Amino acid sequence: MQTRFFIDTHTHTYLEEFDADRAAMVKRSVDANVAKVLLPNIDLDSIAQVNRMMDEYPDYAYGMMGLHPCSVKENYQEVLNELYRQFSLRNYYGVGEIGLDLYWDTRFFEQQKDAFRQQLQWAKELGLPVSIHTREATEQAIDMVSDLQDGRLKGVFHCFGSTVEHGKKIADLGMNIGIGGVVTYKKSNLIEVLKELGLNNAVLETDAPYLSPIPYRGKRNESAWVSVIAQFIADALEMSVDDVNHICTQNSKEVFFRSIGE
C-alpha cells in the first residue's frame, strides 16, 4: 500500500512568524496530508518555542536539539553544555540544526567546526539522527562527517543545493539529502541531481518560513507546501506524486522514526 501522508523533515514553524495563525497553519498542513513535522532547534532562545509546539501538537510536531552554525559565537561551549543537558529532560528526535556556514559570518568558523564535531559525537552517543546545515561549506561538512562515520551516524544534509558529486558522497556516507522549495527555482540544478541519483536517499522538507516553493516564492513558507514540492519533483521526474511521496516518506521514517516503530 502506498504511503498516504507526507513528512516535513525540516521546518521552523515554532518561530514568531507563525504566532498569529499557528493553529490555522497546522490545520492547512494536515489538510494537505502532512502528518508529521521535524522542528530543528537554533539556539538557547528557541528551546522553549520548540518544546511548546511539541506539547501543543503531539503526534504531529517532533523536536530536535542543536546549535545552528550561525548561532556559534564566543560562548559556544557554554551554550553547547546547556543544549546537551536538554536531552536528559525530554525526548528529541534528532541533533539539529547543526553544521557549517561560510556565507553569513566567517569569524567563528573554527568554533563552528568544533561545535559541529561535538554535536556529531552526541548523535552517535545518543543514537539520534542529525540535521546538517551547510552553506558554502558542503565539502568541509562532508569531510567532517566522513572522519567520524563509524556506521552510527545517520541523518540529512538539509536544504541540499550542491552537485551530483557531493550527493554521491553523502549517499556513500549513508546519509540523506533534504529537498525543499529550491528545487522549484529556475536556476536550481536539483532536478538534474535527482535524475542522476534517484530518490533513494532523498527526504522532503520546507525550511519554513524560508525558501517557499514556486508559486509562493516571496511569501512565508509553511509545511503544507511540502506537497507542492513533491508534485514538482513528480512532474519533473515523470513519476506519480504517490510514488515520490512513498519513497521520500519511507526514507524519512527510516531516519527519524525507526526507533519508535512509526
Give residue-wise pLDDT tens across range 106-125.
899 999 999 999 999 999 99
Q: Does residue 193 form part of some domain?
A: yes
Q: Is residue 1 included in any domain, yes or no?
A: no
Across 209-245, b (16+ Cβ under 10 Å) vs e yields bebbbeeeeeeebbbbbbbbbbbbbbebeebeeeebb
Cα(42)–Cα(68) distance, integer angstroms: 5
The arithmetic mean of pLDDT across residues 81-99, rounded, is 97
pLDDT over 50 at 42, yes or no: yes
Helix residue ranges per DSSP H, 42-200:
47-56, 76-86, 109-126, 138-148, 164-172, 190-197
Q: Cell digits for 78?
A: 557554554
Distance of CA 207 to the CA centre of its chain: 7
Q: 108: number of CA atoms within 13 Å, CB side?
A: 20
Q: What is the maximum span of the chain, computed from C-alpha positions, in angstroms?
A: 51
What are the tens digits of pLDDT across the range 173-223?
A: 999 999 999 999 999 999 999 999 999 999 999 999 999 999 999 999 999
Range of the domain at 199: 6-260
Half-sphere exposure of 35 (CA within 13 A, CB side): 10
Q: Other CB atoms closer than 10 Å to residue 12's CB: what's the count?
A: 23
Rounded to two decimals, the pTM is 0.96
What backbone phi and psi angles, to 5 degrees, belong to 254? -65, -40
CATH of the domain at 134: 3.20.20.140
Q: Is the pLDDT of residue 241 over 50?
A: yes
Residue 248 has which C-alpha cell? 521520500
Predicted local confidence at residue 105, as pLDDT: 83
Domain count, the chain: 1
